[in-house]
Chain A
Amino acid sequence: MRVFPEIGNSQLRPAASWICSGAVVRFFVYGIPVLLVALLVASFLTVASFSTDRKNELTIASIGEPTKLNPIQSAESGASEVEQFLFEGLLQYDQNLQISPQLAKSFSLSQTTTIYFQGPTAALTALSFVRAAKEAWADLSLLEARAEGTKLYLKFGLPGMTASEKIYELFNPASTLPLTTLRAETGGEARALLKEFQEANIDLPIVRAWFDYDAAFEITIPGEAKQALEDLKAFLAKKGKEKATVVVTETRKFLAEPVVQFILRDDVRWHDGAPFSSKDVAFTYRSLVNEAVASPRKSDFDLIQSLETPGPHEVLVTYRKPFSPALTSWMIPLLPAHILEDKPVTWWNDNFNRRPIGLGPFKFSSWKTNETLRLVANDDYYQGKPWLEAVVFRYLPDPIAVRLSFMTRQTDFWGVDPWAVKSYIDDPRFQVFRYPSNSYTYVGWNLRNPLFQDLRVRTAFAHAVNVPEMIKYILYGNGVQSTGIFLPHFWFANPDIKPIPYSPETAKRLLDEAGWKPGPDGIRVKDGKRLEFTLLSNQANEVRKDIATLVQDNLGDIGVEVKVEIYEWAVFISRFVNKLEFEALVLGWNTGVDFDAYQVWHSSQTNPEQLNFVGYKNPKADKLIEQLRQEFDPEKIKAMAGELQRIIYEDQPYLFLFVPDATSVIWKNSFRICRPDGKGGFVDTPVEITKAGWTYYLQWFYRPEYADRLPANREVRP
């Protein structure tokens, strides 16, 4: 090693002087950059040289990463996208969006109606009335009638109010006792407080009690409740609950309590091998109503009075009143009681929700946050092992990344936006799927505003807006015109409603009739007021922005001045929608396959922060909405839902625009489906899309290059 005598720093040790030598410094200045460039080039060449041999897996790119894989704690679509392969519910939608059993082998409905009388004699008389006329009521599906004390029990084969009401009309109303339900908002300790209240008022005949978390209770008592109301108020005040409120929520002629009986499959095991049983159903229900779990799906289960498990494969659910939409809530995926019971929710968060144990066709394998979530085939699945070895979700931050990931063949499946799908339809490398989405887009008119109270004006606007053109240019043809609150592909939708046609002439005529005459600048005027309003929408939604522009343009043609204002979503909701301070807005609803229109269309839901924010009120519609919720007969549901849809469409509280298609694309021939044909064999078909979406058959997807593991005797359809 050369020391540098010419500098004369003899104090330096040889090592230090070497480090300070020009050679080392030069290496740092020039060598490291060269090394870095070399590594970059080498890694680039390696990655560029990779072959396209695919693993026997399906990779899905998604923007919505779940935060927890727990179906009762999560509400995001990203979570259910994964959970559908891990968990299952008692019921499911089949490929035609009809309710069908999944973990339940079968289910049946019935109803117990309890009528309270003034005395035991009145009850016995009533029973003899019923018995005498029983023949006449065969069509009411009355199965059983018996009297017990002052009560008359009636058992029906189908839940609902109509049959019970017909029988109730037989009796002298003076001999019966109506029932009153009180709700006490205690803000905590509801269970303990009710217990204490009961002990202090032993005479009070509480026939039903129900708790809304531990924050409120509802009690039902026969007869007048004035005294009980006062007693309860005084009691709560004495207990230091000054903020507590007590109200009468309902007065009923009788108790009508539907019962759903589920018979469960007995061949299902959780991914850890434990058998699935009615305990799991009961546990899932208990968790849903547990405040610590804070489930966003609890409201669906609020009408349940009790859930019993008479056997390991039988579940009886009793409802507080007939509420037909409640049946779909049993599609909720179930949780394993043997793992989660007796564990605090923080344990769920730290363990189960990151490494769930389910019972679906795929098992959880690994989850790297913001990267990938990997599910592997469940060998033990009761319908048979899936053909794919794994399903991988890849989480990306934005649609551009998702697209690039698909184009570089990093993912197999892409939910492409409708506006981008055209180029993929024309490209022979891809296969494109389209199916109607469960959503519709609309312009809502604030019916509190005098301008929009005139039906002629609303109908004129509907005639003036060119919806077919909107579908053509905004959705590139991927959608259909909406004909009201139910979507055309739902089984209860009304197929006879014709969309209001585009006709600016009709629109002009209607506005003329309504008194809006063209003014000097082309804008219509009535009583000195110009026909103008502001149309609001939210940012980050290009489709809605385009709609607002087209509506502005179309209405401009018939002499209406529309100002468009776009706000950030949170501001849009909190400042305008929730406060009901808007004139018109562009929005959309994602709807389940649900005929319950209460929250969005009932006249009781028009207050601030409620969802009937346009302020729609129609007594006829109200009545149908209420009846629909109590009807269990599919034929009658279809008739009533169709009628409701027609009434609301004719009232035009919204300008109903369109139902967009969901569009997705895969690389051509990358997958096929080999599924059971229901007769013991298998059919082998190209990937097909059902009404229930593209993942419906996913457990039967296979890659053609791994076709050797399929059964040989399958029927192949090209």
Chain B
Amino acid sequence: MIAFIIRRLLISVILLVFISVISFGIITLTPGSPYPWGELNPKISESVKANFRKQFHLDEPIWNQYWFNMRGLFTGELRSIKDGRPVLERIGERLPATIALNVVAITISLSFGLLIGVYSARKSGQWQDTALSTVSFGLLAIPEFWISYLLIIGLAGWLAIPIMGTVSHGIVFPNEAAAWMDWLWHLFLPATLLALGGIAGQSRYVRASMLDTLREDYIRTAQAKGLPADTVFYRHALRNSLRPVITGIGGLLPALIGGSVIIETIFAYPGIGRLGYQAVMERDYPTLVALNFIVATLVLLGNLIADLLYAVVDPRVRLE
């Protein structure tokens, strides 16, 4: 087990180097520039441009820039071209909002996925199952931004209910509880939309796994010895069907941070996804380098955790 982990970690480090080189190339070779002034600005002289390039090492060969960025990332000295602050600090200050959003989203997708999956399995072949399957496939197929905009038009456009950002603005809250509920509302809405795809996917896993388990011999044995149907279903079948759900949790790790670019942008939510989107638009190379690196690390780590969990949950699996 230990040998397996060490080997996987070593492979991950090599992979990370490759990922960082490729992503740095993509980031810096994109047309456009990180200058703080617009293109075609008559007020900017050549010496100002040259000085700016020098200050941010943009006049050096690309491999030097890569080295400068990676070294800065590990020493914590890498600063954004845009506001000159350390990129890790910029990412860190968005972390709480993004984690709150994604924890809620993951909770919603797991719990509703479980509910729908279990219910569908229970009603397998009946009309409820067909209806839920249709809805699930629909949710998987429809882009989340489209549903988001429909919801926004309905709630904000017709009912005039504030939904952007993390709190309502400009109004006097009647009491503290109302302020909390306001915050909760602004958190729940994007989280629900973020979770929609997850609910659909998760419920399909649970349903399939549940139906597999229900066909096992030991279930028939339990039923044969006269246990109540509920006990067989929830205690014997459900526990054993949760294996794919548990191993899937490892895969959620990168989603905790990097999975909400579109929803955060649509709902004006101040998280890491929006930071990344802005950094792309502004060609803020250092911020992009840091974000890419962190998400890549989390993906590799998540895969490792998923493999480890699999071995923990299923005694038949041995890691060599």
Could you tell me which A residues sit within 8 Å of B by CB distance?
4, 6-7, 20-22, 25-26, 28-30, 32-33, 36, 39-40, 42-44, 46-48, 50-55, 57, 59, 67-68, 73-76, 212-213, 215-216, 291-292, 294-300, 302, 345-346, 348-350, 353-354, 368-372, 392, 394-398, 400-401, 404-405, 407-412, 568-571, 573-575, 577, 587, 598-600, 611
Contact = CB atoms under 8 A, between A and B. Distances in A.
A619 B160 CA distance: 60
Contacts, number: 232
B170 A75 contact: no
A681 to B, nearest CB: 31
Contacts of B86: 350
Nearest to A35: B111
Given A29-B238, A68-B84, 9 more contacts: A20-B235, A40-B188, A50-B182, A371-B165, A397-B277, A407-B157, A408-B161, A570-B31, A571-B31
Interface in B24-53: 30-33, 35-45, 47-48, 50-52
B227 A299 contact: no
Given A299-B45, A404-B156, A404-B164, A411 B169 contact: yes
Given A32-B111, A48-B161, A397-B277, A574 B51 contact: no
B125 interface: no
B83 A353 contact: yes
Please provide the 9 A-B residue pairs with the shortest distance between their CB atoms, ordered closest to farther.
Answer: A349-B84, A570-B32, A370-B270, A599-B42, A43-B185, A46-B181, A570-B31, A299-B45, A67-B83
B274 A29 contact: no
A90 to B, nearest CB: 18
A83 to B, nearest CB: 14
8 contacts: A40-B188, A51-B174, A291-B54, A292-B55, A349-B84, A369-B90, A396-B268, A407-B156
Contact of B52 (A20, A57, A294): A294
Interface in B115-172: 115, 118, 149, 152, 156-157, 159-166, 168-172
B111 A33 contact: yes
A68 B79 CA distance: 13
Interface centre among B30, B118, B234, B235 (most CB of A within 10 A): B234
Interface of B: 30-33, 35-45, 47-48, 50-52, 54-55, 79-80, 82-86, 90, 93-94, 107-108, 111-112, 114-115, 118, 149, 152, 156-157, 159-166, 168-174, 177-178, 181-182, 184-185, 188, 192, 225, 227, 230-231, 234-235, 238-239, 265-266, 268-271, 274-275, 277-278
A44 B82 contact: no
Is chain A's binding surface mostly helix, strand, loop or mixed? Answer: mixed
A408 B83 CA distance: 31
A56 to B, nearest CB: 10
Contacts of A353: 83-84
Contacts of B108: 36
Contacts of A372: 165, 169
B235 to A, nearest CB: 5
Nearest to A59: B170
Contact of A55 (B90, B107, B171): B171
B114 A294 contact: no
Nearest to A24: B234
Nearest to A185: B47
B91 to A, nearest CB: 11
Contacts of B50: 215
A28 B114 contact: yes
Contacts of A212: 47
Contacts of A68: 82-84
A294 B79 contact: no
A33 B115 contact: yes
Given A75-B37, A212-B47, A408-B156, A369 B277 contact: no
B79 A298 contact: no
Contacts of B170: 54-55, 57, 59, 392, 409-412
B222 to A, nearest CB: 9
A47 to B, nearest CB: 5
B171 A51 contact: yes
A414 to B, nearest CB: 13
A73 B230 CA distance: 68
A67 to B, nearest CB: 4
Contacts of A30: 115
B184 A39 contact: yes
A19 B19 CA distance: 43
A44 B185 contact: yes
Contacts of A412: 170
A40 B45 contact: no
Q: Which of A43, A354, A368 has most chain B Cβ within 10 Å? A: A43
Contacts of A21: 235
B168 A47 contact: yes
Contacts of A20: 235, 239
B85 A25 contact: no
B40 A573 contact: yes
Given A29-B118, A371-B165, A569-B39, A397 B274 contact: yes
B189 to A, nearest CB: 8
Contact of A32 (B38, B107, B165, B166): B107
B93 A369 contact: yes
Given A36-B108, A568-B31, A55 B184 contact: no
A298 B37 contact: no
B83 A349 contact: yes
A396 B52 CA distance: 28
Contacts of B157: 404, 407
B261 to A, nearest CB: 11
B238 A346 contact: no
Contacts of B48: 294-296, 298-299
Nearest to B160: A408
A29 B36 contact: no
A410 B84 contact: no
Contacts of A409: 160, 170-171
B156 A47 contact: no
A532 B220 CA distance: 81
Contact of B112 (A33, A348, A370, A408): A33
A22 B51 contact: no
Contacts of B40: 573, 577, 587, 611
A396 to B, nearest CB: 5
B265 A398 contact: yes
A328 to B, nearest CB: 11
Instruction: Pick from A25, A68, A216, A395 the residue with the most CB of B within 10 Å.
Output: A25
Contact of A47 (B45, B166, B185, B268): B185
B47 to A, nearest CB: 5
A246 to B, nearest CB: 16
A345 B79 CA distance: 12
Contacts of B160: 407-409
A643 B31 CA distance: 40
A466 to B, nearest CB: 27
A53 B172 contact: yes
A7 B228 CA distance: 12
B226 to A, nearest CB: 9
B188 A54 contact: no
Nearest to B110: A32
A397 B282 CA distance: 13
Contacts of B185: 40, 43-44, 46-47
A74 B36 contact: yes
A139 B132 CA distance: 92
A291 B152 CA distance: 47
A427 to B, nearest CB: 14
A22 B230 contact: yes
A570 B283 CA distance: 11
Contacts of B174: 50-51
A562 to B, nearest CB: 23
Contacts of A36: 107-108, 111-112
B78 to A, nearest CB: 12
Given A59-B169, A213-B51, A43 B234 contact: no
A635 B52 CA distance: 39
A574 B31 contact: yes
